[in-house]
Structure 1
């Protein structure tokens, strides 16, 4: 079984997250995508954050509960570091092949994440185009460091078959939404 993990604050979850999950299901031939709601995000510590319960609920409302599932597993594990969470998942679900899903806006900081370089070597990664961040992302030090493990987009369904490191950049359809803009308009908090 192949499962994509889309981690994030989901402050709030929105149709852009679901669009990315649906793209991942198709492009990567996944059986499921888990929307992994983070209890906290060290890169967003200055932002006002809704409670974990509110953010998880916003993701659950959008997920279909079958192929796209919202989960608070990171909070249950007591981790807030992607690398540690993925290590727990791989240990607890040894028959599942996990693929980390992320928007291109997060790629420039990937090597700054806790054990970011180890994460790259431990799990296949699919990076999805996001409006306004693709050029910066592909020119970033993180992209330079992992470039030699990149596979062509046309081979995206084979991502992770031989393990990690392995990554792909998905250029297809972008949805121009952000949780920051939604909070500003709707006062989610």
Structure 2
């Protein structure tokens, strides 16, 4: 049975899961219903563009730095050079049940000089489209053990992220000989992936 975490909580992934190696990190969200009702909704059919949330992965060294653009895994660079992290593709709308984007990680293959893997989500073209994370709901991150397809951890982001255009959702990091997960859930007002990356240079 999955452990539900609250913001700020940390938990070991490997302490009670000897041999854990291949995991799936799923991220999901749903758009808040907008338009479609009332006079304006009926005239313009809702009209608002879909909210395109993009999940990305930052692989950091022991100094919390991104050393190379190759250590950023996203829809434009889906596989890390080590083969340890693979982004399974971009969902453009967030509609539908289940995970919207998935990342596969093979912990044993993560290079030893990578100390932390951060999961972030930003809204594509958020300034032009005047969109923010107050316009989505039911956001979460979960981790599944691919050896038995059992969900290990789930973190539901329940805060109001109105006017936030970027989210630092969670992170997996080395601690001694273990891999741990931290539920971060921090919102930010950076407007794109490039600005988020700059925080770790």
TM-score, with length taken from structure 2: 0.26
TM-score, with length taken from structure 1: 0.27
Bigger strand fraction: 2
Highest RCO, 1 vs 2 (Cα 8 Å, sep ≥ 6) = 2
Bigger helix fraction: 1
